Amino acid sequence: MTRPARILAAAAIIVAITIVCPILTTASSSLGWASSKARPSSSIAEQIKPLTVQASESLPPLTNPDLVCATCHQAIYARYEQTPMAQGSGPADTNLIPGAFRHTPSNIDYRIFLRDSTPYMSFSRDGNPPLSGERKLLYFIGSGRRGRTYLYRSDTQWFELPINSYTRRNTWDMAPAFDAVTSMPAVLPTDPNCLHCHATDVQPSLPTARNRFAAEPFRQGGIGCSACHGDPTAHLAQSGHGPILNPNKLSPAKRDSACIQCHLEGDAVVYKPGRSLAQFRPGEDLAATAVYFIRASHQAGAAPNQAGAAPNQSGAARATSQYEALLRSACKRATGDRLTCTTCHDPHSTPAPAERVQFFRARCLACHTSPKLAATHHPEQPDCALCHMPTRPTTDISHEQLTDHDIESRPTHLQTLAASSDLDKLVTVGGVPATEAEYGMAYAQLAAHGNAAYAREALRLLTHAASLQPDQAPLAPEAEVQLAYLRQRDGHPTQARANYINVLRQLPYEPTALANLGVLDASTSNLAESLRLLNRLIDADPSHTAAGLNLAFIDCSIGRKQDAQAILKRLADINPDDPQLRIFQTQGTYAGQHCALTIP
């Protein structure tokens, strides 16, 4: 349903040392946490002050400030409340979608149900190894028009279920990318940047973790009026006669940004320093918040396969964002800034199924005004989109494009690109300017899928960008953590260590820096500092299983077996079916080494 948070998948890189074989954590590319300066110290972990927030037992009810808009705009409000955007999120017990299924590859039974009017998801496996548990569901994400999933809370951390309801299939199944997993997937942290496109008044994350919130993660269900019209305070203060933002009266870039803040994804996105999508406000140019990149071949309309997949012969397209496809269309190229999303779409309503064909045909004929065209161009088929904007299956999932916004005069099967280690150069969507560091961060994101050419290009760009920065203006921490990780991967631990320390001075809880600096310290037998760093990370965010396993193995290896057992229990509470965790708990084996957890 939602795009996975941009913490790249962990890479199992074993660092050969005598006490522990830690696993390296890949770099994050989507931070947006609060930063704080700290004085230099011989121990970076000692600079980080503990931050503790207790989870409240109950959550305040969601609000609906748009009701005041309805007093003057009743018809618009009533229509909009029926749209998928307005219904994009809310309390989990609102129209709960119950269901159950068995996921065959993992042999796990999942069930969504109500107990005493409270919604839950349960999971269980009768076979070996046994598994059972449940999660109390608090909010839903997804209108249900195409699908829905739910959020749950662990302490003050919020997570998304690994399963989704799929409306067209009328079934529950695994979330995208989890179809073939053989164990229960690792938890999916709830990211404010993802919530931004499903809810309103998304709350800022706490500094310790991007999915940790002081209370509820958002205060208004669905996409409210303020998402496009901004803060209504001045408007309401003058009884509706004060200023209110009308996106259609903005410059084209700012006008389009109101839509593409949620209808543009690209292959990689790089946020400006200190910015995140959750902070975007209508009236701004999205380019001041983030730069979106696509592979040059995608700009030409080719469809990639998933990494390692066989060439697709079905004509399926990647789930490109609507705006990205629209930029390629003949309509957009011919009309330029005059064509925008609302040229064809009414942002306040969705046409009923019986009205859909005529509604969009009228939009087409508003530009294609020839009477002959309307009367003689395939009069037997009034649905223009059926031929010129066909529905295509997708090769990837999140925010999948079902209706092809390329608007082709003669639609053809898209060319499919086989997975390759070659460098498919990146370009920015819409030709937005980007710095060398931003390009480097974008290549680093794509390198996480195993493409060595992207990794080399990312390292080259970020290294050169760092060399151009004066001492008083170093790389932004979001870029420097990427550079540190690439240098560590490339066999330059001293340089990587210096980068990680710089990052932690600005972002004290940055998880990649904490985890991998802990790896570097362990590899040089600086176990005391390694333990401080890894403990700091796991205390802040126990969902980092790889870092927690490193910590537990070090504790076990130096005789602190009870501490190791306590860490493993915390990890298992979050990720109960992690295979490495289970093997360590039951056999005392981790990363090819052995440490008995039991005390003789």
Q: CATH no. for residue 557?
A: 1.25.40.10
Q: What is the mean pLDDT of residues 31-55?
A: 45
Residues 117, 225: one domain? yes
**Closest to 535 measured CA to CA, from 522, 520, 552:** 552
**Run of H or E including 454:** helix 452-468
| Helix, strand, or coil (residue 571) | helix
Structural domain includes residue 71: yes
**Closest to 194 measured CA to CA, from 164, 229, 158:** 158
**Higher pLDDT pick, 32 / 370:** 370
pLDDT score at 49: 56
Residue % of the chain over a pLDDT of 90: 68
Residue 501, pLDDT > 50, answer: yes
Residues 298, 207: one domain? no
Residue pair 304/318 in contact (Cβ under 8 Å)? The answer is: yes
**Higher pLDDT pick, 192 / 394:** 192
pLDDT score at 136: 97
Give residues with Cβ within 8 angstroms of 246, minimum separation 6.
229
Q: How far is CA 371 from CA 90, 377, 379, in A?
A: 47, 10, 12
Q: Which parts of 87-217 are beta strand (E)?
A: 89-91, 99-103, 108-115, 118-125, 131-141, 147-154, 157-160, 163-166, 171-174, 188-189, 199-202
Residue 259, pLDDT > 60, answer: yes
Token couple for 427: 């370009």
Token couple for 546: 């790889």
CB atoms within 10 A of CB 176: 18
Residues 347, 423: one domain? yes
pLDDT score at 387: 87
Residue-range definition of the domain harbouring residue 544: 513-599
Residues 86, 200: one domain? yes
Residues 152, 280: one domain? no
To the nearest 5 percent, what fractions of the chain are helix, strand and coil?
35, 15, 50
Structural domain includes residue 437: no
Residue 496, pLDDT > 60, answer: yes
Confidence of residue 30 (pLDDT cuts 50, 70, 90): very low
Tell me the C-alpha distance between 415 and 402, whole Å: 17
Token couple for 170: 């009328």
pLDDT score at 297: 81
Structural domain includes residue 233: yes
| Helix, strand, or coil (residue 210) | coil
Confidence of residue 473 (pLDDT cuts 50, 70, 90): low
Confidence of residue 21 (pLDDT cuts 50, 70, 90): very low
CB atoms within 10 A of CB 495: 17
Q: What is the mean pLDDT of residues 22-35?
A: 46
Tell me the C-alpha distance between 165 and 483, whole Å: 39
Q: Which DSSP state fits 596?
A: -
Q: Which DSSP state fits 336?
A: G
Q: What is the mean pLDDT of residues 337-362?
A: 92
Residue 415, pLDDT > 50, answer: no
**Closest to 270 measured CA to CA, from 299, 251, 294:** 294
Structural domain includes residue 240: yes
Token couple for 2: 């939602």
Structural domain includes residue 55: no
Q: What is the mean pLDDT of residues 160-178?
A: 93
Token couple for 186: 């690792």
Task: State how beta strands 303-304 and 416-417 pair.
Answer: parallel
Confidence of residue 51 (pLDDT cuts 50, 70, 90): low
**Closest to 555 measured CA to CA, from 586, 530, 537, 520:** 530
Structural domain includes residue 278: yes
Tell me the C-alpha distance between 210 and 541, whole Å: 9
Residues 583, 541: one domain? yes
Tell me the C-alpha distance between 584 and 571, whole Å: 12
Residue type, position 161, single letter: L
Residues 240, 298: one domain? no
Q: What is the mean pLDDT of residues 456-476?
A: 86
Ranges of H-type helices in 120-264: 192-195, 226-229, 233-237, 252-263
Tell me the C-alpha distance between 595 and 588, whole Å: 5
Residues 288, 411: one domain? yes
Residue 39, pLDDT > 70, answer: no
Q: What is the mean pLDDT of residues 67-83?
A: 96
pLDDT score at 300: 61
**Closest to 180 measured CA to CA, from 100, 101, 105:** 105
313-334: per-residue pLDDT in tens? 344 454 457 888 888 888 998 8
Looking at the structure of the chain, the number of domains it has is 3
Whole-structure pTM over 0.85, yes or no?
yes
pLDDT score at 405: 86
Confidence of residue 499 (pLDDT cuts 50, 70, 90): very high
Residue 525, pLDDT > 50, answer: yes
Q: Which of 192, 210, 245 is the last residue of a domain?
A: 245
Q: What is the mean pLDDT of residues 136-161?
A: 96
Residues 232, 278: one domain? no
Residue 9, pLDDT > 50, answer: no
Residue 40, pLDDT > 50, answer: no
**Closest to 323 measured CA to CA, from 390, 388, 405:** 405
Residues 398, 544: one domain? no
203-216: per-residue pLDDT in tens? 999 999 999 999 99
Confidence of residue 29 (pLDDT cuts 50, 70, 90): very low
Structural domain includes residue 75: yes
pLDDT score at 120: 98
Q: What is the mean pLDDT of residues 294-312?
A: 56
Q: Which DSSP state fits 311?
A: P
Tell me the C-alpha distance between 65 and 57, whole Å: 25
Residue pair 536/45 in contact (Cβ under 8 Å)? The answer is: yes
Residue 3, pLDDT > 80, answer: no
Q: What is the mean pLDDT of residues 122-131?
A: 94
pLDDT score at 20: 39
Residue 26, pLDDT > 80, answer: no
Structural domain includes residue 555: yes
**Higher pLDDT pick, 320 / 448:** 448
Q: Which of 427, 460, 491 is the last residue of a domain?
A: 427
Ranges of H-type helices in 25-111: 67-70, 74-80
Residue 58, pLDDT > 80, answer: no
Average pLDDT of every residue of the chain = 85
Confidence of residue 377 (pLDDT cuts 50, 70, 90): confident
Residues 381, 347: one domain? yes
Residue 252, pLDDT > 90, answer: yes
Q: What is the mean pLDDT of residues 564-583?
A: 96
Q: What is the mean pLDDT of residues 210-232?
A: 96
Give residues with Cβ within 8 angstroms of 22, minimum separation 6.
14, 15, 518, 519, 522, 523, 550, 553, 591
Buried residues in 582-599 as b, exposed as e (16+ CB within 10 A): bebbeebebbebebebee
Residue 409's Cβ-side half-sphere holds a number of Cα atoms within 13 Å equal to 5
Q: Which of 404, 427, 450 is the last residue of a domain?
A: 427
Residues 422, 519: one domain? no
**Closest to 173 measured CA to CA, from 401, 395, 1:** 1
